[in-house]
Amino acid sequence: MRTEQSNSPRTCAAPGERELAELDAHWRAANYLAAGQIYLMANPLLREPLRPEHTKPRLLGHWGTSPGLNLVYTHLNRVIKARDLDAICIWGPGHGGPAVLAGSWLDGSYTEHYPDITRDEAGMAALFRQFSFPGGVPSHVAPETPGSIHEGGELGYSLAHAYGAALDNPGLVVACVIGDGEAETGPLAASWHANKFLDPVHDGAVLPILHLNGYKIANPTVLARLPHEELDALLRGYGHEPLHVAGDEPAQVHRAMAAAMDTALDRIADAQHAARTDGATERPRWPVIVLRTPKGWTGPHEVDGVPVEGTWRAHQVPLDQVRDNPEHLAQLEAWLRSYRPDELFDDRGRPVPDVLACLPAGRRRLGANPHANGGLLTRQLPIPPLEKYAVTVDERGATTHEPTRVLGDLLEQVMADTAERRDFRLVGPDETASNRLQAVYRATGKAWEAGLLPTDEHLERGGRVMEILSEHVCQGWLEGYTLTGRHGLFSCYEAFVHIIDSMVNQHVKWLRTTRRLPWRAPVPSLNYLLTSHVWRQDHNGFSHQDPGFVDHVLNKSPEAVRVYFPPDANTLLVTADHVLRSKDYVNVVIAGKQPCFDWLTLEEARVHCARGLGIWDWAGTEDGAREPDVVLACAGDVPTMEVLAAAGLLRRHLPDLAVRVVNVVDIARLLPAEEHPHGMPDREFDAVLTRDKPVIFAYHGYPWLIHRLTYRRAGHPGIHVRGYKEIGTTTTPFDMVLRNDLDRYRLVMDVIDRVPGLAVRAAHVRQRMADVRTRHDAWIRAHGTDLPEVTDWSWPH
């Protein structure tokens, strides 16, 4: 969505005394509300002396970060209002939930989302009570929090989320509070470089606010203990212009913070103007605010004789025995009264006009900006008809294509069709071309704002392919981009996507929670294309072989995760079309980039993908007169080829055997219907995979997964799974499957071993299979390539 830049420079006068008093009133109110949420379940305005029973039995929450977050909320309100700024904020220390909830209650957006929590005394009591309370709201800046696209429970992702939100939103300013502890994480450290990918013409701005409150949970932070010059030089080295705000005297900090905000927004407006109007191409030195205030600022200075304010001890609950220790209770009451609630709220508990004076209106409020409920802004992605990109399949297995290359042609068109609207991005850690998606470069380049050399290719200011060698940053960008309503695809080596296991956990939790919040509009899914997979690591070998991401993802909420194994080019097209249109999922698509036999026409691929799992009767030898003797099942492109080759061998050597071939695209179909929305009812599963026949299942990844998914089925005792057994190296493609016992000859031996009555009758066939495996070993050592009968194999017509 393209909106005009509304951040005009130098429209904001320095606040006078009256405005400073109003800012301080808002900040004090927010601090009161944050502390109130942590401590109080009654007597919210201290109309009567505080008694133990007014306090919560379990004190849960994080005070330490809250006054700093509140300060940012207050001052963002001011500049948004003064400049009519379109802005959202990412709250990195998301454990400061009480602060952001306070800000949203004050700006009225909370009550709009939750009408029961009114902006008066009754609503304040409910706001306090519900916080970190059973049946209430979480302690963090969770999906339930208006204005948030970032939970901040797992630290490290704020800055990447902020950049993701700013991409292709030229009118948007994304403020981003970064905890000084959070700044020690790898993902955050890498995210500073996102400014080399932000195009001042087509993208919005990110305003990082590094919050140096000096401490984490139990330690000082590294950045807070650097000499000023060293920290300043570090941030300059990242390409920023630091603006330092420091102090513990509120009036002075308000003045300094207002000035820093104004300077920062002026610089942003200048940089955007220079790039957009004057054609400047030099990378702007974007501002960063360094905010140095005490942890737990304005809270208890000392508790039980030890310092708390300005130390790590302020991190969570500074006074933790208020119900039992009268001294703690008295200190709490004095602390809360220090904000002078009687001046901040009227006799009905409503914030007084001074408190509300700094607030912007309507959709400009931080709790109501639609970018933070991005589904509201989502447009359906234009995906061209697949017919133009589909490969022709006149004869099954007679031709090969590289599936990801075929997909690349489709993505090129999607890129071309979104050139104006700019709501589709491809991200990846340096692998777009390696993954054979380079056709997209005909439609757009790779975003790049750093130096350029004549030998560079496809680097482009404003390009919409994003490549940085940090899976964390790629993931963070795409999360920020999709949560603000736009579309994208993350193409990644299968083995290294594990690096973001933990981030995907958090994203799935977010999606699952938002599904239960009627006011959150569905957002485009986060889509992975995992290629360069375990079976085809020609250059790389063991370090690059790990198909376990799927196991990880399938542990997650079944409502929100989908995993697909398209076995050829046309099924990949159909799968990609499906996932790119979907909303609120994490979709994982595993597909090869190496030449792969074309098995299904586009029409067949559509039907097969709609089923998710189906019998390929053309590949089996059932005659319909009796039940099959054995089922050969497969999921994944390489296992599918091995199963078909095994089926061909069985057809030749054991023509009387009734073999059924079943291919699985949507792996969750194997689950019981009660456990996953795509799960198959038992009756259907039993009909296709049988209750009592041997099933030889060739699976792309770790074999245990198939057992996990099918253990409740009647036929489970008969299911024998072959997959990756963690045996890998740099070797030939067929040697990889052979070493892991996934090869066609082993599968035939499995059939002979498991079909009752076959062992003796087919002993000679079994021996022949074993002999080929032996010959293979000698052959590859002598020739360095696979046996001719393997390399020249094609589906027997």
Ligand X SMILES: Cc1ncc(C[n+]2csc(CCOP(=O)(O)OP(=O)(O)O)c2C)c(N)n1
Q: Which residues bind ligand X (CB under 6 A)?
A: 64-65, 93, 95, 153-156, 179-182, 185, 211, 213, 215-217, 221, 295, 315
Inter-residue contact 734 to 790 (CB < 8 Å): yes
For 659-682, the three-class secondary structure string (H helix, E strand, C coil) is EEEEEECEHHHHCECCCCCCCECH
SS (H, E, C) 149-194: CCCCCCCCCHHHHHHHHHCCCCCEEEEEEEECCHHHCHHHHHHHHH
Q: Which does 261 bind (CB under 5 to 8 A by kind): Mg ion, ligand X, none?
A: none
The contact pattern for Mg ion, residues 247-286, with x = CB under 5 A and - = no contact, is ----------------------------------------
Report 194-213 residues binding Mg ion (CB under 5 A). 213
CA distances from 342 to 70, 203, 347, 567 (A): 19, 44, 8, 68
626 Cβ contact partners less than 8 Å away, ≥ 6 residues apart: 658
Site for Mg ion in 724-763 (CB under 5 A): none
Q: Is 55 in the site for Mg ion (CB under 5 A)?
A: no
Q: Which is nearer to ligand X, 220 or 382 (CB)?
A: 220
For position 181 contacting Mg ion by CB under 5 A, the verdict is yes
Distance CA 332, CA 334 (A): 5
Looking up tokens 């009570």 gives 129
Q: Residue 104 binds what, of Mg ion, ligand X, none (CB under 5 to 8 Å, by partner type)?
A: none
| Comparison of 161 and 364: residue with beta carbon closer to ligand X | 161
Q: Quick one: residue 282, left, alpha or beta (phi over 0 = left, psi -120 to 50 = alpha)? A: beta
Amino acid letter at 237?
A: G
Closer CB to Mg ion, 153 or 239, in the complex:
153
156 contact choice in ligand X, Mg ion, none (CB below 5 to 8 Å, kind-dependent): ligand X
Compute the least distance from the CB of residue 650 to ligand X, in Å: 52
155 binds, among ligand X, Mg ion, none (CB under 5 to 8 A by kind): ligand X
CB 790 within 8 A of CB 735: no
**Please, what is the minimum distance in Å from the beta carbon of residue 135 to ligand X?**
24
Binding partner of 217, given Mg ion, ligand X, none, CB within 5-8 angstroms per partner class: ligand X
Distance of CA 294 to CAs 90, 102, 132, 438, Å?
Answer: 21, 20, 24, 50
Nearer to ligand X, 211 or 240 (CB): 211
Least distance from C-beta 337 to ligand X, angstroms? 25
The least CB distance from residue 158 to ligand X, in Å, is 9
Choose among ligand X, Mg ion, none what residue 64 binds, the Cβ cut-off being 5 to 8 Å by kind.
ligand X
CB of 279 to ligand X, least distance (A): 40
Distances (CA, A) of 193 to 163, 187, 241, 529: 10, 11, 14, 24
Pick what 431 binds: Mg ion, ligand X, none; C-beta below 5 to 8 Å, kind-dependent.
Answer: none
Binding at 182: pick from ligand X, Mg ion, none (beta carbon under 5-8 Å per type): ligand X
Toward Mg ion, which CB reaches closer, 52 or 307?
A: 307
CB closer to ligand X out of 19 and 154: 154
User: Closest CB to ligand X among 61 and 93?
Assistant: 93
Cβ proximity to ligand X: between 217 and 610 the closer is 217
Q: How many CA atoms lie within 13 A of 539 on its CB side?
A: 4
Q: What is the smallest separation between the CB atom of 96 and ligand X, expressed in angstroms?
A: 7
Least distance in Å: CB of 75 to ligand X? 17
- The least CB distance from residue 213 to ligand X, in Å, is 5
Question: Rounded to 10 degrees, what is the CA torsion of 744, 749, 754, 759?
Answer: 150
- Residue 391 contact among ligand X, Mg ion, none, beta carbon within 5 to 8 Å by kind: none
Alpha carbon distance 431, 771 (integer Å): 40
Give the list of residues 6+ apart from residue 443 with CB closer than 8 angstroms, or none. 412, 413, 415, 416, 419
Q: How many CB atoms lie within 10 A of CB 504?
A: 23
Count of residues engaged in binding Mg ion, rule: CB under 5 A: 4
**Burial group, residue 309, by CB count within 10 angstroms (0-12, 13-18, 19+):** buried
C-beta of 187: minimal distance to ligand X in Å?
A: 9
Residues in the chain, overall count: 797
- Residues ≥6 apart with Cβ < 8 Å to 279: none
CB of 217 to ligand X, least distance (A): 5
Q: Is 296 in the site for Mg ion (CB under 5 A)?
A: no
Q: What is the DSSP letter of 465?
A: E
CB of 367 to ligand X, least distance (A): 21
Rounded-to-integer distance, Cα 469 and Cα 494, Å: 15
What is the nearest approach in angstroms of Mg ion to the Cβ of residue 253? 16
Residue of 22, 107, 144, 180 that binds Mg ion (CB under 5 A): 180
For residues 162 and 477, give the distance between their C-alpha atoms in angstroms, rounded to a whole number: 8
Could you say which of Mg ion, ligand X, none residue 95 binds, taking C-beta under 5 to 8 angstroms by partner kind?
Answer: ligand X
Nearer to Mg ion, 33 or 223 (CB): 223
Structure tokens, 648: 């061909």
Q: Whose Cβ is closer to ligand X: residue 224's or residue 600's?
A: 224
CB nearer to ligand X: pick between 149 and 630: 149
Q: What's the burial of 200, exposed, middle or buried (CB within 10 Å: 0-12/13-18/19+)?
A: buried
- Give residue number: closest CB to ligand X: 179
In the complex with ligand X, which residue's Cβ is closer, 221 or 690?
A: 221
Q: 290 - beta bridge partners?
A: 210, 244
Contacting positions for Mg ion (CB under 5 A): 179-181, 213
